[in-house]
Amino acid sequence: MFIVENYTFSVFLCFITMLCWGSWANTQKLSPKSWPFTLFYWDYAIGVLLFSLLIGISLGSFGESGRPLFEDLMQANLVSYLNAFLGGVVFNLANLIIVAAISIAGMSVAFPIGIGTALILGVFVNYVSTPIGNPYYLFLGVFLIVLAILIDAIAYKYHLGDKNTSSYRGIVISLIGGILMGLFYRFVASSMSSDFNNPVSGLFTPYSALLIFSFGIFISNFIWNTYFMYKPIEGDPVKFRNYISNSTLKTHLIGILGGIIWCVGMSLSLISSEKAGYPISYGLGQGATMVAAAWGVFVWKEFKGASLKINVLISLMFLLFISGLILIIMSRYN
């Protein structure tokens, strides 16, 4: 199977992860406005599962290093299966809860609180489990990225003005989603061997862990997403027949593409985790918030016509974000 052999290349892959995790949501913007997120999310889950299988039978099965996908699946123990699968279940619920929080409190409140919480908790939990990297550089970098996320929220709030609809309920839901999002990666990491070339018996390689994780997302979708379809936070309930009757092939392909983009990022994060370490690979990946902000600023023109004050905040946001990334990368060298 394909294995990353050095830290520099693993950092490059983590940057690709960040780009993918910060960009997949653009596919939802390309979907028809009449297409509910809950229906979009079915195609997204299908895309995640399809790509995890594709990369498993290709990069995860060829070459002399490690264990091929199907051999790896056959030898893994029950605990590894449960950890990887539970990681998908937890991620799926966290993702849907954060989306629900956005519908209540708005993007400027829910997303920074949710992802900021996930970033802090995720790096901390993974560092405690596998303490790789200089903690001072690592956590200072995380602090700067969280600060950048908060400044992004402030800038967005100023830009919205009276149109901002934040609420205590939305903040609480954002925190719950963020806590769950900060925990899912640890479950997947626990199912994997720390040595990819000579993997420990009973544990997964990253390709097998990704596949079982993706099954966790897809199968739990029948519980979590079905609930949000029939009990939406906002708007009218959606039924399963709407998935067929109110759509086109193009609409479904857009959603599947969104899932593929996200899963490319997740696969590269896991593949690079041996050399980068779980705290760094997760922390760099969750910098996706700023990638999403860049899409909003430069492509979707969400801050068009903003005041000088807001533009200064946006510039400061990107400066802090880049500084935080540099510190996280440096933590492995110090």
Using one digit for the tens of pLDDT, what is the confidence trace for 49-80? 999 999 999 999 998 889 999 999 999 999 99
Provide the pLDDT confidence category of residue 167 given band limits of 50, 70 and 90: low
Tell me: the pLDDT tens digits for 178-218?
999 999 999 999 999 999 999 999 999 999 999 999 999 99
Q: Is the pLDDT of residue 164 over 60?
A: no
Cα separation, 60 vs 80, in Å, equals 17
Domain ranges of the chain: 7-330
Q: What is the pLDDT of residues 275-316, one digit of tens each?
A: 999 999 999 998 887 888 788 788 878 778 888 999 999 999
Contact, 268 vs 51, CB < 8 A?
no
Percentage of residues in the chain having pLDDT higher than 70: 96
pTM, two decimal places = 0.92
What backbone phi and psi angles, to 5 degrees, belong to 88? -65, -40
Local structure of residue 35 (DSSP, 8 states): S
Please, what is the end-to-end C-alpha distance for the chain in angstroms? 30
Residues facing 204 on adjacent strands: 192
Query: 80-89, 99-108, 181-190 — which is least confidently predicted?
Result: 99-108
